[in-house]
Structure formats: structure tokens, C-alpha cells
Structure 1
């Protein structure tokens, strides 16, 4: 098949692209920087997939499948959904497990936040989980049914995607490696989390491409294994013994972090997934998926063996976290990173 992958240079996309190429497909991946492929069957289209003329050029061709890893606002997707469906034999839309409301066990039929919550302030936004659900609705209501919706749970990968509750690695791992305490409300650490290795998610996605049972269907692409965030922290600590977590007030944490809706309507829920549907359609087995302990340990060690100083540090956010745990340990790193970063740190740590 001839397959277009939009935004396919992230944790899931890299694995999916390789698997599809290994299966003999011709895969073209969009990228915002010039890349050279070292995989037979994979090539890159240089450009911004949100730029109209670039995307119009791609969609003027016919594709057997389009896999869309882009993050669209509802208004953006509304103008493009027909183009995607018309240009492909199968259009795969990447949604998120975050569309689900609080449920004892998540299945594809579990209620979505958009449909059941009554928080008018939140509903007035087009925040990630709501935007994904609204984009799903545009597919559900379309006359064409050559679409597949996937809803990944939290995904980790050796390229640097490691979450600790709502913290990304550029926050918690950066602090841990410098022996700076990481603020996390204790109540969040008690919540159950489902995390899946990007390679396993990619296998699920690849097996849905060209699969007649996937047309017009929605799948939670995830492992069924779940553990408390505290145990995930313990797994990380097995690789990074200096990781130290300090309790803090949840309201103060929301203000310091900024991702209020993600905290309230995801990380404060127990997230337990029933992945029966995706396993049945792909033929995969749960015991063939990577375990959390083995996967996180292996991928984190893999990441730590690489250069760790390539990603920028948000010293404004780090300063707010220092304030939460009554620390100034980030002070010297901000001071050594230039006047602008140092000034931002001082303002957010001692003034705001």
C-alpha cells in the first residue's frame, strides 16, 4: 500500500513507520525539518502539515491509507475532515484515551467527558480531550465510513517520553538527575495509570491498517496492565536512585503546573483499560505486550545513554516548582543559562 503519515516523527509514528515499511508498504512521512531516511520504503515530505498549500498538495494524490498523528483544533479539523476521507482508502485519526470520563474500567463504549460532564468553564474551551472528542464527532456524523479512530493511553518511549503523573520528562527527569525534589501531590500518586510502550502501540496501529474490521470503528490502543503512579515512580527510582518526590497541595500544584484540566479530568482518575477489542481485531495477545516494569526500565536506560542536554528547560515552570517544595536548587542552573532565563527564574520563584 501507499501510506501517508502526518506528523509521524514522534514516539508512536517512528515505530509505526518502520513496521509498515518492513511489511512492504511505501510510506511517506511529513516532517517540519529535513530528514534523510535510512529505512527502505520510507521517505519524508518536508513541510508543515497544517500549512494549507503543503497539505493540499499531499491530499491531491490518492493514498491507500492516511495515518494522522497531528493535533487539530475542532475548527481546523472541520475544514479538513472531508479532504482526508476523500483522499484515502482508510483514514486513521489519532484521538486519545483522555476523551473518556471517569470509569471503573475503560472500554470503547465508556462515556466521554464531552458527553457527560457539566463543567461549563471547561466545556467552553477546546482543550485537548474535548477537541479530540469533537473531532471524533465529525467522523461519526460523516456519510463516509472509511475511517478508524484510535485512542492511545499514556505512551512511553526511549526517545524521551516518560511521564510521572502530569509531569513530562523535561521536568521530573531534569530535576531528578540534578537531585532537585519533584513536587507531586500524594493523592495523584495513589491513582491507577495505564502506560504502554510506543512499540506495542505501533504494532496495534499497523495491524489496523488495511484491516476491514477496523473501518468505522474506534479502538483504545493500549496494554491492559495498570499500576499506581507511586509504583511507576518506584520503577523510575530503580534506574535513577536520586529521584525524590515531595508532597504538595493539589490546588497549588495546579497553578504551578498549568495543565489544570488534564489534572482534574485525567490524572485524578483511575485509568484502567479493557483492551479486549483491539486484541481481538489485531490477533495480538496481552502477554506478548511489554510489561511496565521491563519496558520503562529498558527505555529509560536507553534514553539516559544519550545526550540529555539537548532539550530546552522552562525555568519559569521550574521556578514555580521550586517554590512549591521550598527549594532554590534550580537557581544556579538558571544563572548559568543566561540573563534572560535567570531573570525569569527570579521573577517566578520570588516575586509572582
Structure 2
């Protein structure tokens, strides 16, 4: 039987040490909730969890291991950061249908149909499969499965759609720390399009305000929320802010979005460029502010960039450049120069 409302909320996080989930766990503990996490016990980014968190170890993709780790416990809220497709969503319905009052599915704002037909984006903006981004399509199908379970079985789902959410250990740049390293050493960095499309960035600590504020609220069951900050920049500004935090001038080259999948087929960010970040994305956060009146994002990207640079200084082992990503970025920059040379030759002929 689920425990009484007067007691502290019991919350289970599937995940708990990732880019977004770590901040949510910390804020849940600060709010006085009883928090458990379940994952494989890996923490590659050195993100620390607060004292008092019950860490359960299991592969969430293994039904037997997951059930054994949870036992016969029930929770006021289950928050799943590790669910990516419809089959998995249906597994969660089966496992948690009688174990929780609220199941929070972390979806993605990348499921909004692109190009967006109106701005700002709201929860009622049409969603659709994304042919350029299998991840977004899978998230879209997972939402459909959970909404169907809510309608037909009363499954207590709350859907949350983050947009581009980052933390100090994970910079929001296509290519991550490898791009930061290129900026720091003065190498050229490719920027999709002409660098002027608008993009919304949200620090995980700000996202956590919205998510944690929804936990335990029965009115949020059956609802969908986009949770983002109000930090909107052009991509040129995003790269330039990182460069300023590093104390250097950026060397940006503008590359047509359509060129990315031709030069770097199979690279995740190539699909992102065409299917998501190549489009302007500005969000209306009225709904989350209505349900969580205290939701008030505080971190601008200028401040966050300085924190990321400090993190890079203090964690050199986990913020180094990746050779494979470096090679991809070199190819994209090389394609830009090759196209420019062909154009210059044509103009001179």
C-alpha cells in the first residue's frame, strides 16, 4: 500500500547520475524527499550524489534484475531518465502500474515537428516522428505508448519534455569537450547554417526546479510539460560565450546544415543538425510556471560557461578531446574549405 501523503515523498529515479538527473536528485533531497536511484552504478562524469540517497544497482533493461532490486516497494513518484522507446515504455507500465502514484517519463522537446510552424513552442505544438533523428522518433513513440496506457489502463503518467539541457560536466555544444578544446587552442570550429538560428539552453539545476516541483502533484498526472529556461541565443553567441569564458577569440566557420550528414554520416550530431538544432527553438513555459509557481531559472549561459571552464580545469581526465570526434570536426571544416576553394576558383574563371 502506498504511504500517506503527510509523510515525505518516496521517489525512485531510474538513472540519477546523468547530465539532468543528478541535479534533480540533489534538489529532491533538499526538498526533504526520500530518494532512491537505480542504475548500473557507473558515474563517468564524477557527479556526486548527496548523503542519504539509497543507491540500488541493476541494469534497468533487465526485467529480472530491476524487479529484484526494487522488491515489493512502492513509491509516490518514479522518474525515468532511461526510457527511450515504445517497447521499454510498455515494460514500465507493466512494472510500475501498481507501484506508484505518478510515473514521470522524461521525453524530449526534439519530438516537436520540424520545422516549427509557430513560435514560441507550447505543449500543444504538433509532434511527429523525425526522419533525421531516430532518437526523437523513438521518444515520440514512447510517449504514444504511455498516453495509450493512461487512457486505457489509468496508468499515472506525467510526460516531461526537456530541450537542450546541460550541466557543468557536459557542455551544450555539438561535440562536447572536444569542441571546447578546439576553441581553447584556436582551431576552427564548424557552426551549422549561418550561426543565427535561435536556440534555448537550460542548465540542469534550473530544469530540476520544474521537475521536482511536479512530483507528488496529482493534478500533473495525465499532463505534458515542456521544462526549459528562458536563455535564448544564436549559435554564434553560444560558441562566442564559451570562447570568452576561456579567454580566447573563437574561429567559427559556417557550414550548410545539409553538408553534415554528407561529410559525417552516422555521427549523432549530423542528425541533430538537420532534425533539431538547425531549427530555431523558443519555448513558452507558461504551463510549468502555472503548476510550479516557484519555477524561476537563474543560471544564464554566461555564468554557466564560466562554471564549465572551471569544471574542465578541475577534471582534466574527463574533459579531454575525443580523437574520433576530432576527426569528424576536421572533416566538416575541411569540407567547408573545399567548398570555399571551389567557389573561389569559379569566381576567378
Shift of 1:144: 1.4
The count of aligned residue pairs is 313
Asked if 1:177 is matched to 2:184, the reply is yes
Deviation at 1:95, TM superposition (A): 0.3
- CA RMSD of superposed structures (Å): 2.5
Matched-pair contact (CA < 8 Å) for 1:29–1:44: yes
| TM-score relative to the length of structure 2 | 0.82
CA contact (8 A) 2:102 2:156 kept: yes
| Partner residue in 2 for 1:299 | 307
How far is 1:239 from its partner?
0.7
Moved over 6 A (4+): 34-38
Task: Give the direction of change, closer, same or farther, for the CA distance of 1:60–1:76 in structure 2 (3 Å limit).
Answer: same
**Map 1:329-344 → 2, pairs under 5 A:** none
Aligned to 1:78: 90
- Could you tell me how far 1:193 is from its partner in structure 2? 0.4
Matched with 2:162 is: 152
In 1, the alpha carbon distance for the partners of 2:196 and 2:49 equals 43
TM-score in terms of structure 1 length: 0.81
In structure 2, relative to structure 1, the CA distance for the partners of 1:238 and 1:216 (3 Å cut) is same
The whole-number CA distance in structure 1 between the counterparts of 2:48 and 2:331 is: 45
Q: Secondary structure at the match of 1:44?
A: strand
Correspondence for 1:96 among 100, 104, 108 = 108
Please, which of 171, 192, 200 is the counterpart of residue 162 of structure 1?
A: 171
Is 1:250 the counterpart of 2:261? The answer is: no
Q: How many Å separate the matches in 2 of 1:136 and 1:76?
A: 11
Q: Tell me the distance in 1 between the aligned counterparts of 2:66 and 2:120.
A: 38
Task: State the distance in 1 between where 2:127 and 2:187 align.
Answer: 37
Question: Is 1:268 matched up with 2:278?
Answer: yes
Partner of 2:56: helix, strand, or coil?
Answer: strand
C-alpha deviation, 1:149, in angstroms: 0.6
Structure 2 CA distance, aligned partners of 1:174 and 1:37?
A: 24
Q: What's the CA shift string for 1:101-137, capped at 9, x where partnerless?
A: 11422100000023xx7xxxx29x8x11111111111
Partner of 1:110: 125
Describe the SS at the equivalent of 1:5. Answer: strand
Q: What is the CA–CA distance in structure 2 between the aligned matches of 1:38 and 1:163, rounded to whole Å?
A: 22
Measured against aligned partners, the alpha-carbon deviations of 1:221-244 in whole angstroms (never above 9, x if no partner) come to: 111332211111221121121532
Does the C-alpha gap of structure 1 residues 184 and 152 become closer, same or farther in structure 2, counting only changes over 3 Å? same
Query: Structure 1 CA distance, aligned partners of 2:96 and 2:62?
Result: 15
By how many angstroms is 1:38 displaced? 6.4
Q: How far has the Cα of 1:319 moved from its partner? A: 1.7
* CA shift in 2, pair 1:34/1:265, >3 Å: closer
**Unaligned stretches of 5+ in structure 2?**
1-8, 336-349
The answer for the alignment partner of 2:76 in structure 1 is 64
Give 1:168-317 correspondences, 5 Å limit: 168-187=175-194, 189-240=195-246, 241-257=248-264, 258-259=267-268, 260-284=270-294, 288-310=296-318, 313-317=321-325
